[in-house]
Structure 1
Amino acid sequence: MNLSNYTSEFKKNLRIAYPVMLGQLGHVLVGLADNLMVGKLGAAPLASVSLANGLVFVFLSLGIGFSFAITPLIAEADGEQDKKKGKTIFEHGIFITIILGFIICFMLLASQPAMHYMKQPNEVVELAKPYYQIIAFSMIPLMVFQGFKQFADGLSLTKYAMQATILANVINVFFNYVLIYGKFGFPAMGVAGSAVGTLISRFIMVGFMIYIIRTRKEFTDFVTRFSFNNIKKSILKKIYKLGYPTALQMWFEVTLFASGIFIAGILGTNSQAANQIALNLASMTFMIAVGLGVTATVRVGNQKGLKNYKELRRIALSIFLLMIIIDLLFAFGFILFKDILPTYYVDNQEVISTAATLIIIAGFFQLSDGIQVVVLGALRGLQDVKIPMRITFIAYWVIGFPICYFLALHTDLKSKGIWIGLLIALTASAIMLYLRFNKLTQKLIIEKNELT
């Protein structure tokens, strides 16, 4: 194998990926700012944000997963240089994400009473409720932004969503400071103030993307005579067929991690706070995987439009290799700084000690997590979503969840058991998804060779 065939693509992969990575970092930093600022109020407020966000992501993952269907369809149209097709997908994609925003908001508000049945500490539940209610309304602007983002990503114009999220992060930090602690004459709202800051920042994100798409020449061919009167059932059905398996893929993973949060809550406030620290740190490195996953979707989608399957496979493998190298570096960093990182969140020594152990395990699963994300992105670019949906269900819920539950609640491993289960689930997912990609791309290459 000639490595230069793959390493030669690193520069282009990173050029597409880095704005997504930085944009994702912006999203993660919103959560980090919430955790750091709320964490200064104590372990219970930090645990309440963890509980609320765990439940939010259960529903949000479905909406984001649906929106992911926009990117490969736009990328394919871009590869074909079919502007009319791209405009049609854009209009229908925005229509769907608006509807999804309202649906997710309603589902979150309706599900709030479920907090009382999750065996969480009463103090944590009471603090979580006002935060949760405000965050529910932020789903509407967030999903609209997601529609614009996936459209721009499909055109390889990933920098604009990055700029929007960086702007939103600055605004969120400011309003967190003002509203959590009661600065500049504002009332001290505590945990709820963090949610208000997030809500405001998400409306700013949407406004920024609307401005960019209406004023930048790269988007001119897609926004002319934009009208929801052009919505057609056949196009909605096409996006739905690609979107719902993608939504379920993400939902299976997010609900597994959310279940880990709830299990940690059963173990106690300190265990839940430690779990949140490790999860938040893992999320910060996950941004790299998301960026390269989007790159895989876009570049594979372009080659699919061109029907150049040999090149498609070579480009995808270059992204996988780059992901492995980056994740090995992150794994080393997690293990090296395990005792230092938790101290930036809380002063509680028990929480710090538990979190340090969890961070070691999180370091090991960096590799599996990164690989499964980029392979899923490549399969999404091929518009292969139903089999990967089944694979992720098996990996996360047939294999992963029972291990998390048993080791955490029926052995002395407790919180460590949750993360061992997550590591095994991610590893199983990575292996099975790669086998699927390998089989599918080899089949496409053979079939094209037979035709020619």
Structure 2
Amino acid sequence: MLFERNLFDRSKPGNFWEVFRIALPLILANAGHSINLFTDRLMLQNFSKETMSAAFPAGLTHFTLICYFVGTVGYANSFVAQYFGAKMYHRVGAAVWQAIYMALLGGLFSVAAYFYAPALFRAFGHAPHLVELEVAYFRILALGGCIPLLTIALSTFWGGQGKTSMIMFVNLLITFCNIPFNYMLIFGMDFGWFKIPAMGILGAAYGTLAAGLVGLLVMVGCLLGSRTNIARFRTWNMRFDKDMFLRLFKFGGPNGVQLFLDLASFNLCVVLLGKIGQDVLNASGVAFSLNSLAMIPMFGLGQTVSILVGQGIGAQDIPFAERAVRSARLWLYFMLIILGILFLFYPEPALTLFQLEPGTRAFDLAKIMLRFVTAYLIFDGTGILYGSAIKGAGDTKFSMWIGSTFAWLLFGIPCLVTFYIFGLPSVRESLGPDRADTYNLWTQWTIIVAYIMILGTTFYLRYLGGKWKGMKVIESEANDHPRGAIPKEVGVDSYLP
């Protein structure tokens, strides 16, 4: 049942209100990130349409390249949650530090991508002036790739415990820094005694990294400067733990692989849509940007479910985990229905924010695209919710195989085949170029809807199967310390620098 009375009983762990308490800061944190993307693209759209068109694929490509590490590093959330649920508090700091080492490895990988940027974006086949802008934007993000990864690693310390207010605070701080930083660097500003030149798309990249660095430094100070964190969670325990690091690879790696292959297929779709024409590229960028707003409650509630399921697994309390999932589902569907109504019946105000003028082809295309987005919203939310639940327990291999296989078998390859078929000279001659492009465009959007519907249903059925209930990503207390010599609480001075 969707509505259950006991979900509103505050005395029961995992109730509607507890989920709200944990999810709201995460939703606001995700909102801060989406506001960053939204305002960046809005500023770039006002600077020039070319910079907006270049920033979207370039930013998505960079995130796709590092998303293996995003997924792997972020999975430390489940480690912290399960240690916290099992009351093995002394292992929390070690889990966070293994995530930090993984983030540094990802940062090196990001820097290496700097040198391959020109060849990569030329292969996309976009106009030469767009390729130049894409490469410039991508290279700056590549050099600072460790900043978002380290922020994710540090956030797992608070996220796994369900203390999500800290994550919200840092993300909103980044947002409050990002907007003025980007404005000054994109458009330039004259202070009289000091003048910042207008840097356009380069300014957007620099501003984003600078704001992220501010948030990262705040997290470092809070993690390592608290005597409580040092004493209870051993946050100064920087020792490389080979066993835990390998387990992070084992369980977090599939999560990263799924995210990489999923986003790679999505990136391919964006590139193919861009090849159809400039109006299609502009409309798609706007539609996907608005779709990212709908992802805010999805990801926030997905993270909440992953945390609470992890804590339930660690505490060996499955009813608590199941109740948390049902409570999150109620919140999710309520939010998505409201967003669906706005996208379907009142899209014009949102579209005009991106300087799409009513009556233009790009405006009309974006309006239709939002109808497709509305069609898959509930299924997308279902997939994220139940996928997060089983991954929080440790069922990451299934998620990887299903998510990755479906991303290409049902999405990436069909989009590629569609683009190839409607690009054949014989087909274009038979249908006419305009009709062929129209069929190409809406066939690809139909594929997107079908893929998300099937994926969401599959994750729901996997959750119902219950295999996740017997999984765990952490070691037992006995296995970790066979002599039982290490207490859960130690003196502060032992871990002070």
| TMscore range, shorter length | over 0.9
Residue aligning to 2:5: 4
Residue aligning to 1:422: 448
1:221 aligned to which of 199, 221, 231: 231
Q: Say if 1:70 and 1:239, in contact at 8 Å, map to a contact too.
A: yes
Distance 2:232 2:280 in 1: 49
Q: Say if 2:66 and 2:106, in contact at 8 Å, map to a contact too.
A: no
Q: Say if 1:407 and 1:413, in contact at 8 Å, map to a contact too.
A: no
1:355 aligned to which of 361, 366, 374: 366
Residue aligning to 1:156: 162
Q: Secondary structure at the match of 2:189?
A: coil
Distance 1:222 1:358, change over 3 A: farther
Letter in 1 for 2:137: Y
Letter in 1 for 2:257: L
2:79 is equivalent to residue 73 of structure 1: yes
Write the mapping of 1:289-368 to structure 2, written as runs, cut at 5 A. 289-347=298-356, 349-368=360-379
Residue aligning to 1:187: 197
2:49 aligned to which of 38, 43, 46: 43
Distance 1:189 1:50 in 2: 17
Distance 1:331 1:129, change over 3 A: same
Residue aligning to 2:207: 197
Distance 2:172 2:281 in 1: 29
Q: Say if 1:92 and 1:231, in contact at 8 Å, map to a contact too.
A: yes
Q: CA deviation at 1:216?
A: 4.4
Distance 1:428 1:310 in 2: 27
Q: CA deviation at 1:443?
A: 6.9
Q: CA deviation at 1:87?
A: 2.2
Of Structure 1 and Structure 2, the greater helix share is in 1
Q: Secondary structure at the match of 2:439?
A: coil
Q: Say if 1:83 and 1:221, in contact at 8 Å, map to a contact too.
A: no
Q: CA deviation at 1:384?
A: 0.8
Distance 2:439 2:48 in 1: 25
Distance 1:11 1:239, change over 3 A: same
Q: Secondary structure at the match of 1:341?
A: helix
| 214-223 vs 255-264, greater mean Cα deviation | 214-223
2:183 is equivalent to residue 174 of structure 1: no
Distance 1:62 1:443 in 2: 26
Residue aligning to 1:379: 390
Structure 2 unaligned residues grouped into runs of 5+: 10-14, 423-435, 472-497
Distance 2:133 2:465 in 1: 49
2:128 aligned to which of 111, 122, 131: 122
Distance 1:7 1:328, change over 3 A: farther
Q: Secondary structure at the match of 1:413?
A: helix
Distance 1:331 1:134 in 2: 36
Q: Say if 1:298 and 1:381, in contact at 8 Å, map to a contact too.
A: yes
Residue aligning to 1:435: 461
Q: Secondary structure at the match of 2:47?
A: coil
Runs of 4+ in 1 over 6 A off after TM superposition: none
Q: CA deviation at 1:403?
A: 3.5
Residue aligning to 1:102: 108
Residue aligning to 1:246: 255
Q: Say if 1:358 and 1:415, in contact at 8 Å, map to a contact too.
A: no
Write the mapping of 1:370-409 to structure 2, written as runs, cut at 5 A. 370-407=381-418
Distance 1:380 1:310 in 2: 17
2:213 is equivalent to residue 212 of structure 1: no
Q: Say if 1:296 and 1:319, in contact at 8 Å, map to a contact too.
A: yes
CA deviations 1:336-365 (Å, max 9, x no partner) are: 122332111124522211111111111221
Greater radius of gyration (CA):
2
Distance 1:225 1:53 in 2: 33
State TM-score, norm by structure 2.
Answer: 0.85
Distance 1:128 1:417 in 2: 27
Q: CA deviation at 1:429?
A: 1.0
Residue aligning to 1:448: none
Q: Say if 1:35 and 1:46, in contact at 8 Å, map to a contact too.
A: yes
Q: Say if 1:346 and 1:352, in contact at 8 Å, map to a contact too.
A: no
Letter in 2 for 1:300: V
Distance 1:337 1:216 in 2: 48
1:32 aligned to which of 26, 34, 38: 38
Q: Say if 1:309 and 1:441, in contact at 8 Å, map to a contact too.
A: no
Residue aligning to 1:369: 380
Q: Secondary structure at the match of 1:340?
A: helix
Q: Say if 2:394 and 2:468, in contact at 8 Å, map to a contact too.
A: no
Letter in 1 for 2:263: V
How many residues align? The count is 444
Q: Secondary structure at the match of 2:262?
A: helix
| 423-432 vs 310-319, greater mean Cα deviation | 310-319
Letter in 2 for 1:394: T
Distance 2:233 2:84 in 1: 15
Residue aligning to 1:90: 96
Distance 2:364 2:417 in 1: 22
